[in-house]
């Protein structure tokens, strides 16, 4: 619970539910749902199991529910978490969602 400038107590919004899945070589698709109105989302990534979180994107539209994380290493597992922002307050972080990027794209075949 947080307190507003007027001293009123506000309930923090519920954390979004996050899923992560391989999308293309070096890319992971993140999708989320939320039961609370949102103004935006903050998405963090960590190497799998390292618990060293870095914010990779701040989405400023509450209606956005997906993001493709690109430029990742092939055959590597990443952990993700997300939290909702609304009216100057943030939710708790979601449960961690993990996904492994696919290997490198196949080489072109010339005939």
Phi and psi dihedrals of 43, rounded to 5? Answer: -110, 130
pLDDT tens across the length of the chain (111 residues): 444 555 566 788 899 999 999 999 999 999 999 988 899 999 999 999 999 999 999 999 989 999 999 999 999 999 999 999 998 899 999 999 999 999 865 554 555
* Alpha-carbon dihedral 18, 93, 5, 58, rounded to 10 degrees: -60
- pTM for this prediction: 0.84
């Amino acid at each position: 619970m947080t307190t507003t400038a007027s001293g009123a107590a506000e309930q923090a919004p519920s954390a979004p539910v996050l899923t992560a899945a391989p999308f293309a070589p070096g890319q992971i698709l993140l999708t989320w749902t939320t039961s609370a109105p949102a103004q935006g989302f903050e998405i963090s990534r960590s190497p799998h199991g390292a618990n060293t979180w870095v914010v990779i994107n701040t989405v400023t539209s509450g209606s956005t529910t997906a993001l493709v994380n690109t430029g990742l290493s092939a055959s590597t597992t990443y952990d993700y978490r997300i939290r909702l922002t609304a009216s100057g307050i943030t939710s708790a972080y979601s449960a961690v969602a993990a996904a492994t990027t696919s290997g490198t794209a196949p080489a072109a075949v010339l005939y």
